[in-house]
Amino acid sequence: MATLLKHLNTLFIQIRTKTTSAQYVASRPRDPTFEKLMNHYKNLLKLVTIQDLILSNPKDPTISLHFLSKLSQKLHLNRGALAFLRKYPKIFQVYYNRSKSQPFCKLTEQAIRIAREEAMAIDKSKPLAIERLVRLLAMSASRSLPLRAVFKVWRELGLPDDFEDSVISQNPNLFSVCDGIEPNTHIVKLVCGFPIHNFSAHVENWRKNECESSNIDDELGIRLGFKHGFPPGMRLSKDFRRRVKEWQRLAYVEPYESIGGGSDGKKLSRGGMKGLEKRAVGIVHEFLSLTVEKMVEVERISHFRKWFGIDLNIRDLFLDHPGIFYLSTKGNMHMVFLREAYERGCLIEPNPVYVARRKLLDLVILGRRGMFLEDGDVRTASEPHEAGFRADALTEDKRAAALTERASLYCRINSFCPNRISLSLWLSISHIANLEIGRTPQTRFQPDRTVPALFARDLVKSGPDSEAEWLVSSENLIVSEGDLVVFD
């Protein structure tokens, strides 16, 4: 009976441990600034994937909506590819390709300009990216890492997408590649004799600045500690503060120092476990400091755990130290931020690659706002009667976009029927569209009947059948004229 109770108690503890782990993540202290940033960043990651697909073909940087729709589930586009593209008209432009009889997507001029700026920034900062890769290899006990793990974080390190050829192969005095023990695996190594003893962790800069300040309360805690900044509203009890102070004073092996023979299978003391935990914190802190945006997905950094000699759960490590790291779970992914590197959702010390990527994130944050406005012409959607536009200053595409935006505003604010507008308003819109745009459309508007403005179910089929059928089935388009598709 006693054995049975002991077995049930052990089983209960195991089940409880699994449940507690999930609850541990859910009960972590939240930081509204990082949560708001991650709310937009999760969409940026999807957007960058689509952008890379478009730019993968330099001769024809476009992608069909049919192909993109097949990838919707893999890219986690819950409402479909078309709905996702519609959210960011400043980045993506959807048009109808008459030769292929299907809609395609391409990048806007603004998005292409940002992509070129990022590519130029990566190329100019290649020496710094090489140093990041060298430091990453230096933190490994064997001074080597699997190439597939480096592929997981090449973007985070600011490496070019062809870094295997442009960085590793071009620097044989620093790197060498050999076959791994497992089949079809390659290991990138740091060449023998490289002076890694010259490296010091990035946290030493903060320690040096703090020690040089006049008001030092705990010099030992500064020389061995890390900068802390807790989430707003987090309750810091006296016992918690005491444990943090003791942990700050704890000596540990630096990330670029050899840990020696390890435990050799022996059970470590409590102090030894804390020392290994602090070394793991130091390694992850240095890893995040080497990244361009001081953030990385937890799943990607887990690929380095074995090579860095970290025997702890990486996610729990971040949760145990909320003053150093912040873990976000937005978008079904666990993303960790280096707290000290951010202030109000932006890097304190930005770099050129981050600046270019931030511009793309700003377009994600803007979404559809201000699409029908000319540069410098600030108007709000709450003033539909004042949301006019200068027809002589707008291009054809901008003019059509502004036109349909105004129609949508009238339908929403002036309490029209949700899928139809008044005949007089449609007459004026179709008149401007037909006469002022200056095209000779094959599919001309017919102002002699009330045409739906927000849904295309009853769109007049006066153009090619393939085009008309696609427009009717979309239910999200207002007007299509030639290769121009304008969204609601």
Residue 253 predicted with pLDDT over 60: yes
Closest CA to 308 of 333, 286, 283, 325: 283
Asked if 108 contacts 363 with a C-beta cutoff of 8 angstroms, the reply is no
Closest CA to 203 of 221, 190, 217, 215: 221
The dihedrals phi and psi of 336, each to the nearest 5 degrees, come to -110, 135
Rg (CA), the chain: 29
Strand 102-107 to 92-97 pairing: antiparallel
pLDDT tens-digit readout, 5-20: 445 444 433 333 444 5
pLDDT in the model for residue 399: 53
Helix 270-290, helix 126-138: angle, nearest 10: 170
Q: Which pLDDT band holds residue 370 (cuts at 50, 70, 90)?
A: low
pLDDT in the model for residue 160: 93
Give the whole-angstrom CA distance, residue 381 versus residue 400: 17
Residue 413 predicted with pLDDT over 60: no
pLDDT in the model for residue 377: 40
Give the whole-angstrom CA distance, residue 45 versus residue 39: 11
Mean predicted confidence (pLDDT) in 401-413: 50
Residue 407 predicted with pLDDT over 60: no
Mean predicted confidence (pLDDT) in 263-272: 60
Q: Which pLDDT band holds residue 406 (cuts at 50, 70, 90)?
A: low
Counting every residue written for the chain, the total comes to 488
Angle at 428 between CA 422 and CA 429, to 5 degrees: 85
Taking all residues of the chain, what is their mean pLDDT, rounded to a whole number? 75
Give the whole-angstrom CA distance, residue 243 versus residue 319: 15
pLDDT tens-digit readout, 18-39: 445 677 777 788 899 999 999 9
Asked if 128 contacts 290 with a C-beta cutoff of 8 angstroms, the reply is no
pLDDT in the model for residue 294: 96
Mean predicted confidence (pLDDT) in 166-192: 88
Of 42 and 194, which is predicted with more confidence? Answer: 42
Structure tokens at 89: 């008209």
pLDDT tens-digit readout, 432-480: 444 333 333 333 333 333 333 333 333 333 333 333 333 333 333 333 3
Q: Which pLDDT band holds residue 403 (cuts at 50, 70, 90)?
A: low
Angle at 254 between CA 253 and CA 259, to 5 degrees: 45
Asked if 130 contacts 147 with a C-beta cutoff of 8 angstroms, the reply is no
- Count of other CB atoms within 10 angstroms of residue 139: 24
Give the whole-angstrom CA distance, residue 327 versus residue 343: 16
Asked if 48 contacts 156 with a C-beta cutoff of 8 angstroms, the reply is no
pLDDT in the model for residue 109: 93
Choose the weakest-confidence range: 142-146, 280-284, 286-290, 370-374. Answer: 370-374
CA 121 to the chain's CA centroid: 18
pTM of the model: 0.72
